[in-house]
Chain A
Amino acid sequence: MNRSLGYAALVILVSALNFTVHAQDKTAAFFESPDLGNEIQQQELVPLDLIASDESPLPAGNGTAFQGREIYAEKCAACHGDDGKGGPANQPLVGGNIHSSESPLRTVGSFWPHATTLFDYIRRAMPANAPKSLSDTEVYQVVAYVLYMNGLIDQYAIINADSLPLLIMPNAEGFIDMSK
């Protein structure tokens, strides 16, 4: 074997070994990240991160149904009805019975498994014509009023980051997680 060819082969072999060491394998090298993300602090995300769940804490503030009645009448009733039982073109929030043989109406009271969903959804998406226009306190007040209309709390119960996740919804056990 020609010596220079042998040297060239050795160089190629060493390069390949280097490559292997750096990138595990060729496929991984094709997906090597340029790593351009900017590191941020959780605190910076408070205005953006609207997730409210058992695991993602709800914000400070609180409200009662008594306080929420007026906001509901002003900003929610046009679509959801004065009593929450539905307007001309939107789904009801109140009433129904998922176990009724006639009409298994899916409302907050009859169907929603988690109370935190109510805060999460109203804060991010309601009212439909002006999402994110309510303060956290107003969201708590409206959440309390919807729960009150469903007979789940009394009108003076304080709804906040501590009390809302503890509220057991009537249909909490009604779901089968198909991802398992």
Chain B
Amino acid sequence: MAENSDLAVAGNGLLSRRLLLGLSLGGAAASASSSLLGAEATRFVIPEWSKKPGPGPSAYGQPSPFTTGIQRDPGRANPLYPGGGASRTPLHQLRGTITPNGLHFERHHAGVPAIDPAGHQLVINGLVKKSLSFNYDDLIRYPMVSRIQFLECSGNSGALFRDNPPDGTAQSIHGLVSCAEWTGIPLSVLLEDAGVDTAAQWLSAVGADAASMGRSIPLSKALDDVIVALFQNGEPLRPEQGYPMRLFVPGWEGNVSVKWLTQLKLSREPSQFRDETSKYTDTLADRSSLQFTFPMGVKSIITSPSGHMQLREQGLYQIEGLAWSGAGRISKVEVSADGGNSWAEALIDSQAGDKSLARFRLPWRWNGSAAKLISRATDSSGAIQPTRTQLLSEKGNLAFYHFNAQQCWGVDTSGLVNNVYV
């Protein structure tokens, strides 16, 4: 097998994107198939499932029983904090850019309420000309928009602020990001019904869960692109995503997309909820703390090869991952296999839209030596994903939220992949 050295674009085995665009992926596959000719003919018997009819159509489809290992990781329950916690999306086991509804990450502050839409109200009050309540059937008649956009918890990847690199997988470290098509009513339409008082500058959104989780959002954002979402990937929201309705705040930290939405209150000032003071704030080295750090920064992660994977042999692999930005589109993703000494531009292998996940890919020939795989994204605003050193110099190591720095998977000479700091 040739080394494709003419196609090398950066150090330690990174190959040209031209390899993805019509060139053969090499001789390995061809020689493997030819070696099977005439041998082991008994492998090609007609399988049992081809000899009798299977079950007929079903009311609601389920994944193959052979993929039941693809699951969210709900972590350990804390008995003193009923229903609290998070589950993480198995990013390393999925492809494409849309997260299946049953695998979308979760973060709950008091569990998932079982809401009967017939008993649920959405109320708008505060600095409005008239306070209004809407029931589910009212809202279904409203004009809606659909957008494919990511949602990321601002605590995602937060363990990477710590001094020692956490041992984990793409799922356990980065799994608090997902992407779906969200369909709902522009919030501006509902606010216009109520008539916003000119003194109003903020809007408090409150959920109907047991924590009555609340967040304050500037009115300017609420009127810009926020929706009251009722559908996710075409079906009504799942209970764990806020059924019957949630706020969806594009590009901002997930916590403000308040689930089980039941109240919107207009005010002059933010309400200073616990989850925008005690939590979801970052303390800097000088001990001042950043509050209302809403937008999610430009970020990318490599999902394969990624933590705890084992490369079986030397040869051609795809370095593959996801990139996104709260500021808009992903315009470029670069990959390094030598710890950031040299970089090559990856192929963005999907139609990456505004604030959606983009999937990138770059061929890589592993030659058996140690490697350090890093990706860095650039967004349509020109922002470049920072290094961990740059992020820490800006935010210090007391911070926990909004970790968007480059992350490195180390590959050792045995092919084992682990999270490392450069």
Contacts and interface: CB of A to CB of B under 8 A. Distances in A.
A120 B125 CA distance: 17
A33 B130 CA distance: 15
A131 B110 contact: yes
Interface in A134-180: 171, 174-179
Contacts of B293: 178
A40 B131 contact: yes
Given A48-B123, A99-B287, A116-B272, A39 B141 contact: no
A39 B132 contact: yes
Contact of B269 (A53, A78, A131, A132): A53
B265 interface: yes
B289 interface: yes
A124 B134 contact: no
Given A78-B80, A104-B398, A38 B141 contact: no
A111 B211 contact: no
A37 B214 CA distance: 22
Contacts of B273: 117, 120-121
Contacts of A31: 143, 186, 188-189
A72 B142 CA distance: 47
A180 to B, nearest CB: 8
B80 A125 contact: no
Given A39-B132, A54-B269, A90 B80 contact: yes
B267 interface: yes
A150 to B, nearest CB: 13
Nearest to A116: B272
Nearest to A41: B131
A6 interface: no
A111 B283 CA distance: 10
The number of chain A residues touching the other chain, given as a range, is 35 or more
Nearest to B130: A39
Nearest to A173: B288
A176 B288 CA distance: 7
Interface stretch (B86-94, B274-282, B310-318, B365-373): B274-282
Nearest to B295: A178
A48 B291 contact: no
A113 interface: yes
A5 interface: no
B206 interface: yes
B124 to A, nearest CB: 7
B272 A117 contact: yes
Given A55-B269, A175-B291, A40 B210 contact: no
Query: Which of A53, A98, A112, A116 has the most B CB atoms < 10 Å from its CB?
Result: A53
B16 interface: no
A110 to B, nearest CB: 10
A39 B200 CA distance: 19
Given A41-B131, A42-B125, A48-B123, A117 B290 contact: no
A125 B210 contact: yes
B58 interface: no
Contact of A125 (B110, B192, B294): B110
Contacts of A39: 130-132
A128 B82 contact: yes
B133 A89 contact: no
B109 interface: yes
Contacts of A89: 78-81
B218 interface: yes
Interface in B249-292: 262-263, 265, 267-274, 277-278, 281, 283, 287-292
Interface of A: 30-42, 45, 48-51, 53-56, 78-79, 87-90, 98-99, 104, 106, 108, 111-114, 116-117, 120-121, 124-125, 128-129, 131-132, 171, 174-179
Interface of B: 78-82, 84, 109-110, 121, 123-126, 130-134, 138-139, 141-143, 186, 188-190, 192-194, 204, 206, 210-214, 218, 262-263, 265, 267-274, 277-278, 281, 283, 287-294, 398
19 contacts: A36-B139, A37-B190, A37-B193, A41-B131, A48-B121, A48-B263, A49-B125, A49-B263, A56-B267, A87-B80, A112-B277, A120-B271, A120-B273, A125-B109, A125-B212, A125-B213, A129-B82, A131-B110, A178-B294
Given A40-B133, A178-B293, 11 more contacts: A30-B143, A31-B186, A34-B142, A38-B134, A50-B206, A53-B269, A54-B272, A88-B80, A111-B289, A114-B272, A174-B289
3 A-B pairs closest in CB distance: A37-B132, A179-B292, A124-B212
